[in-house]
Amino acid sequence: MTTTFSAKAGSEAMRDAARSDPRKSPRKETMRSAFKMNSLGPMVSIQETQDLCSGITLNKNKTRHFRTLIFPQRQSHMPLASRCPFVVLTRDRTQKRMSRIMTALHHNLSLKDEIRDYWSMRSETFDTMPGHEIFSDDERRGWLELFARHLGDAQGGRALDLASGTGVISLLLAELGYSVTGLDLSEAMLARARAKTSGKPIKLYAGDAEDTFEASDSYDVVATRHLVWTLPDPPAAFREWFRVLKPGGRVGIVDVDMINPRPGNGKALRVLARLARKIANPPPPGAHAAVHNDIVSRVYFSTGCRPEEIARLLGETGFVDIAIDRNLRAIHRAQGRFMPLHQRLERASQDRFIISARKPG
Ligand SMILES: C[S@@+](CC[C@H](N)C(=O)[O-])C[C@H]1O[C@@H](n2cnc3c(N)ncnc32)[C@H](O)[C@@H]1O
């Protein structure tokens, strides 16, 4: 469930959003803007809230006996019919539990804000870096083949690119023939993406990959690159992606475990990378490296974004035909031509993969 600390602030924000852009009267637009304006995006998942609340009365009929402490968003505005209507806490016996909920809310809110700010800070230089932007036709072909292999034929279908960043993956999906919606937390990243994607069948919004506000059963494909490692609540995200996919729709997750070396020769490559770095003596990492490490230490995959764990969570969500593919060699070879040796070795030592899966039906 999505909750806010102030229902009033949320509704005022919605009214402001509606006033500021009367053309876009549909509720979804208004909600998007309200969430963006107030940072009232999803802070804690329904499962997490339900877990925290287990034993606490959620029964609407009994509200008169209790003091309502947390108001969720007005459910009538929300496309997610499955959401818990509200949370009601007893006055005296649940203080401890309430403080856990509040802590979780604060934690996720501030963490997501920090994640958004971190990427906004990096937006200016993001596309200058090999491994982010595509710098050769070889690499572009590599990505197109990879996505086609895992997601199937586009056939004019709809794709949702989560954490669309500066639009690199959205553009590839459009090239494959999808009509694309891209969502990202960071307006600064979205601004770059808008400049690159104008005239293409790509719509871009500020939004949260863990709670998209998209309609159920509406996408043929959900794709994402370099998002899952930074999610506070991947199980909630996967349930959300399952929900928005049409029956038979496919998810494609490209990511990297930056903490554990890849199976096989990963450890040896890591040693070589350290040696090469010492010899090359590159400038020390910028200030953003410390922010990055701090964020990593607090996300779900703080000990490493292991593909097997992602696959397990996808299976628990209900996905089938789950495949882990570590063969991104063509892409990495093409990217490596624009990187110094120590960086190539570092990246080769990391576990880089795509995981694809299908919603049954
Ligand atoms: C490493 S960049 C990847 C961008 C793009 N997917 C790509 O591969 O070029 C990570 C992006 O994830 C976005 N992001 C992080 N958490 C998010 C969330 N919960 N919902 C939506 N976007 C998120 C950041 O704003 C940032 O643009």
CA distance linking residue 115 with residue 121, whole number of Å: 10
Closest by CA to 42, choosing from 165, 179, 170, 183, is 183
Let me know whether 190 and 300 are in one domain. yes
Let me know whether 100 and 140 are in one domain. no
DSSP letters spanning 266-282: HHHHHHHHHHHHHHH-P
Q: With H, G, I as helix, E, B as strand and everything else as coil, classify residue 248.
A: strand
Q: Examine residue 116 and state whether it is found in any structural domain, yes or no.
A: no
Angle, helix 234-244 to helix 46-53, in steps of 10 degrees: 130
What does the block give as tokens for 330?
A: 């063509």
Closest by CA to 46, choosing from 77, 70, 82, 10, is 82
Ligand 1 centroid distance, CA of 294 (Å): 17
The distance in angstroms from the start CA to the end CA of the chain is 26
Q: Residue for token digits 């910028």? A: 286
CATH number (domain holding residue 227): 3.40.50.150
pLDDT at 292: 94
pLDDT at 271: 96
CA distance linking residue 214 with residue 313, whole number of Å: 21
Supply the residue whose CA is at minimum distance from atom 13 of ligand 1.
163
Domain of 58, in residue numbers = 3-111
Ligand 1 centroid distance, CA of 12 (Å): 28
Let me know whether 141 and 200 are in one domain. yes
pLDDT at 101: 54
Domain's final residue, options 76, 111, 146: 111
pLDDT at 284: 81
What does the block give as tokens for 216?
A: 């159920």
Let me know whether 135 and 80 are in one domain. no
CA distance linking residue 261 with residue 249, whole number of Å: 32
**CA 201 to mean position of chain CA atoms:** 21
- Is 174 near ligand 1, meaning CB less than 6 Å away? no
Q: Are 305 and 228 in contact (CB under 8 A)?
A: yes
Q: Examine residue 230 and state whether it is found in any structural domain, yes or no.
A: yes
Q: Examine residue 117 and state whether it is found in any structural domain, yes or no.
A: no
Q: Examine residue 119 and state whether it is found in any structural domain, yes or no.
A: no
- Is 184 near ligand 1, meaning CB less than 6 Å away? yes
Domain total for the chain? Answer: 2
Let me know whether 99 and 139 are in one domain. no
Q: Examine residue 118 and state whether it is found in any structural domain, yes or no.
A: no
Q: Which atom of ligand 1 is nearest to the CA of 133?
A: 9
- Is 209 near ligand 1, meaning CB less than 6 Å away? yes
Ligand 1 centroid distance, CA of 209 (Å): 9
Domain's final residue, options 55, 85, 111: 111
Let me know whether 97 and 136 are in one domain. no
Pocket residue to mutate for ligand 1, from 135, 185, 354, most atoms within 8 A of Cβ: 185
Let me know whether 155 and 242 are in one domain. yes
Let me know whether 92 and 172 are in one domain. no
Let me know whether 96 and 139 are in one domain. no
Let me know whether 101 and 134 are in one domain. no
Ligand 1 centroid distance, CA of 56 (Å): 35
pLDDT at 104: 54
SS (H, E, C) 22-68: CCCCCHHHHHHHHHHHHCCCCCCCHHHHHHHHCCCCCCHHHHHHCEE
Q: Are 64 and 46 in contact (CB under 8 A)?
A: no
Count, in order, helices (H) and strands (E) of the chain: 13, 10
CA distance linking residue 279 with residue 163, whole number of Å: 36
Ligand 1 centroid distance, CA of 35 (Å): 17
Let me know whether 219 and 276 are in one domain. yes
Q: What is the pLDDT along the chain (361 residues), one digit of tens a residue?
A: 332 223 333 334 433 444 444 344 444 443 333 323 222 233 334 444 444 444 333 333 333 333 333 433 333 333 332 233 333 343 434 445 555 555 555 555 689 999 999 999 999 999 999 999 999 999 999 999 999 999 999 999 999 999 999 999 999 999 999 999 999 999 999 999 999 999 999 999 999 999 999 999 999 999 999 999 999 999 999 999 999 999 999 999 999 999 999 999 999 999 999 999 999 999 888 778 999 999 999 999 999 999 999 999 999 999 999 999 999 999 999 999 999 999 999 999 999 999 999 999 9
CA distance linking residue 183 with residue 164, whole number of Å: 6
- Is 127 near ligand 1, meaning CB less than 6 Å away? no
